[in-house]
Amino acid sequence: MNHEHVLQTTIDDLVQTGRGILAADESSPTIAKRFQAIGAESTEENRRAYRSLLLTTPGLGEFISGVILYEEALTQQADAATLLPAAAWAQKIVPGIKVDKGKIPLALHPGDEITEGLDGLAKRLANYREQGARFAKWREVYTIGEHIPSASGIEANAEMLARYAAVCQNEGFVPIVEPEVLMDGDHSLARCAEVTEAVLHAVFHALHRHRIVLEWMLLKPSMVLPGKLQPKASPKTVADATLRVLRRTVPAAVPSIHFLSGGQGPEEATANLNALNQGKGPSPWHLNISYGRALQQPALQAWGGKAEHVQAAQQALLKRARLNSLAMRGAYLDEMENG
């Protein structure tokens, strides 16, 4: 079987109306912080139990087409003694894997950062394939400040995303390209739009240079939002600004845009996604989700690290997945939160 067929099959399985991607790829330090907030210890068994809870939620596959996992999860088992990637695929949820190794400061560019992890990536992907993964994700981050991100920082991060994507497609993995413009700070929505447009221009120029087949990749951007220290913008304002940037920067060949939630609350992220789909009009892309906290937070709080709360946690996850499925169709209403 050649890579072209494999890549297209993965895209077909991932990109479907009303089905999004669950980001469950928290690193060990990150998941420890989330567990600490609910009074649970971050042991290997607790991490396994929580991931099992997520991936064995009955009916989740109706709304979720893929899941991004952390490396540890590929070898963990669900409660039924099935490996987690197999438990996901039992609901036709495609297993994927986070492959970057985290961010470090970009040398000689104060405030800019760059992500590590390219060394040995092809060999790691071959191993991940044996463990059931079919797509990958790599994240670059951009902090907005008076003088950042710099032009050099934007170019360096774009180059890293393109090199990662090239290795993935060469190995038969669909790459999720994630340039996250952070919400942190007091910048305006207009400033976020300016930075996001520059970032996406650079990313797609780099993808072109590295011969990435756009039909066999997914984009995972942040929405255009004001900084956390600013008043929130309305869903329509967010949608209008985000769509304007996407239309200026993202080629029609990209099959789907899977937004990250990036610090938005669960209801906020759903309402903004709904506004995007209501406002997009004729569009070459699906506008879907690849949410982490905005899908998981209600389930995590309902679970609280207790086995007797698994069913309640799964119901909370299923509710958010269902509401986001409606938002992917532009059919979500605020009053559904209480239904």
- Residue 336 in any domain: the answer is no
Domain span including residue 97: 3-331
- Within 8 A by CB and 6+ apart from 28, the residues are 42, 47, 70, 72
- Residue 199 in any domain: the answer is yes
- Residue 193 in any domain: the answer is yes
Count of structural domains, the chain: 1
Count the alpha carbons within 13 Å of 101 in the hemisphere toward its beta carbon.
Answer: 8
- Residue 339 in any domain: the answer is no
Question: What are the φ/ψ torsions at residue 75 (nearest 5 degrees)?
Answer: -105, 0
- Residue 57 in any domain: the answer is yes
- Residue 93 in any domain: the answer is yes
Which DSSP string do the residues of 84-130 spell out, in sequence order? HHHHHHTTT-EEEEE----EEEPTT-TT-EEE---TTHHHHHHHHHH
Q: What are the percentages of helix, strand and coil residues in the chain, rounded to 5?
A: 50, 15, 35
- Residue 64 in any domain: the answer is yes
Q: Are strands 103-105 and 94-98 parallel, antiparallel or unpaired?
A: unpaired
pLDDT by residue for the chain (339 residues), tens only, comes to: 479 999 999 999 999 999 999 999 999 999 999 999 999 999 999 999 999 999 999 999 999 999 999 999 999 999 888 999 999 999 999 999 999 999 999 999 999 999 999 999 999 999 999 999 999 999 999 999 999 999 999 999 999 999 999 999 999 999 999 999 999 999 999 999 999 999 999 999 999 999 999 999 999 999 999 999 999 999 999 999 999 999 999 999 999 999 999 999 999 999 999 999 999 999 999 999 999 999 999 999 999 999 999 999 999 999 999 999 999 999 999 999 997
CB 55 within 8 A of CB 73: no
- Residue 338 in any domain: the answer is no
| C-alpha closest to that of 223 among 250, 204, 205, 243 | 243
Q: Give the domain CATH number at 207.
A: 3.20.20.70
Which DSSP string do the residues of 184-243 spell out, in sequence order? -SS--HHHHHHHHHHHHHHHHHHHHHTT--GGG-EE-PPP----TTSPPPPHHHHHHHHH
pLDDT of residue 226: 98
Instruction: Give the number of other CB atoms < 10 A from CB of residue 92.
Output: 14
CA 181 to each of CA 74, 119, 247: distance values in angstroms, whole numbers, following the listed order: 29, 25, 17
Instruction: Spell out a b/e string for 2-31, using b for 16 or more CB atoms within 10 Å of the CB, else e.
Output: eeeebbeebbebbbeebbbbbbbbbeeeeb
Q: Are strands 103-105 and 113-115 parallel, antiparallel or unpaired?
A: antiparallel
Instruction: Give the number of other CB atoms < 10 A from CB of residue 117.
Output: 16
Where in the sequence numbering do the catalytic residues fall? 178, 220
How far apart (Å, rounded) are the C-alpha atoms in residues 21 and 240? Answer: 23
Mapped onto helix, strand or coil, the DSSP state of residue 1 is coil
